[in-house]
Amino acid sequence: MTHSHEHAHLASALDLDAELVGGYLDDAAAAITRSLGRTPQRIVDLGAGTGTGTEALARDFAGAEVVAVDSSPEMIARVDERARAGGFESRTTTLVADLDDGLPPLDSPDVIWAAMSLHHVADPAALLRQAAAALAPDGVVAIVEMAGLPRFAPDADTALGTLEARCHAAASGAGWEAIVDWTDTLGAAGYDVLHRDTIHVARTGPSESVARYAVHWFSQFRHRLADDLSGSDLASLDCLIAPADPASLHKRADLTLRAGRLLWVARPAA
């Protein structure tokens, strides 16, 4: 895949994720307000991707300024486009910056938000320490990660359900970085965790988007776990992700989606 194809693929997966799982964002905004004790005025979105969080935070905190940071100019261009289309452009600043080089200068934000991005940076603990120094005096960080991999099989005892379970076990064995728990790292970086919970999202009923999202995930298993799964599981995955195959996920209308997000809201200890 070329660089621009990879970006387009990631961007469309992020947008699908937002469409199907983005309902967690309003719950997260409410948890931020409770922990902060007021409505935030300045928010920074680290690793903003296509701007799902940027937009939700700008919508839920209608007076707030939001700064979106990402190392990818392609992603930042999408955030700019989203801000224009969503009418929150005047409150949004975008910044192309590699967080591996440290936090860019920030103007004492009330909230530093990092959704599914902290695990990408080279030294998350160092970034969290820098975030503590950059925050407004009573400011908080809000960190989001996936609470396990999304599940699509409507019934765990079917061929699809058992294959999905083997894929999840293999992903866990391969140490997929997307499933992480930041509780200890936050403590070691000098934070008090004010709020930690799992926000569950479920979708039932026929949905073309759920089928496309399932194809995205089963394609990830096929390509990233090729050394960890059996030959027969890989052959089954090939059928599931091939649009024309009779067994293709594209053709299934019975898929369900069960997903979750882990949220931490934490404040630097006094």
71 binds ligand SAM (CB under 6 A): yes
Per CB under 6 A, does 67 bind ligand SAM? no
Q: Which of residues 91-110 bind ligand SAM (CB under 6 A)?
A: 98-100
Q: Considering Cα of 103, then 195, then 188, then 175, what sign does the dihedral take?
A: negative
Q: Which residues from 167-206 bind ligand SAM, rule CB under 6 A?
A: none
Q: How far apart are CA 163 and CA 235, in angstroms?
A: 11
Task: Rule CB under 6 A: say whether 72 interacts with ligand SAM.
Answer: yes
- Are 193 and 266 in contact, with CB atoms under 8 Å apart? yes
Query: Least distance to ligand SAM from the beta carbon of 270, Å?
Result: 29
- Residue 115 found at the interface with ligand SAM (CB under 6 A): yes
CB nearest ligand SAM: which residue?
49
Region binding ligand SAM by CB under 6 A among candidate stretches 36-44, 112-120, 205-213, 236-244 = 112-120
Query: What is the smallest separation between the CB atom of 160 and ligand SAM, expressed in angstroms?
Result: 25
Contacts for 248 with CB less than 8 Å, ≥ 6 apart = 239, 240, 241, 242
> Dmax of the chain from CA atoms?
60
Contact assessment for residue 55 and residue 82, using Cβ atoms and an 8 Å cutoff:
yes
* 99 within 8 A of 71, measured Cβ to Cβ: yes
Size of the site for ligand SAM (CB under 6 A): 18
Nearby residues of 216 by Cβ (< 8 Å), 6 or more positions away: 13, 16
Q: Residue type at 130?
A: Q
* 220 part of the interface to ligand SAM, by CB under 6 A: no
Q: 8-47: which residues touch ligand SAM (CB under 6 A)?
A: 14, 47
Residue among 31, 44, 52, 213 that touches ligand SAM (CB under 6 A)? 52
Binding region for ligand SAM (CB under 6 A): 14, 47-49, 52-53, 70-72, 75, 98-100, 115-117, 120-121
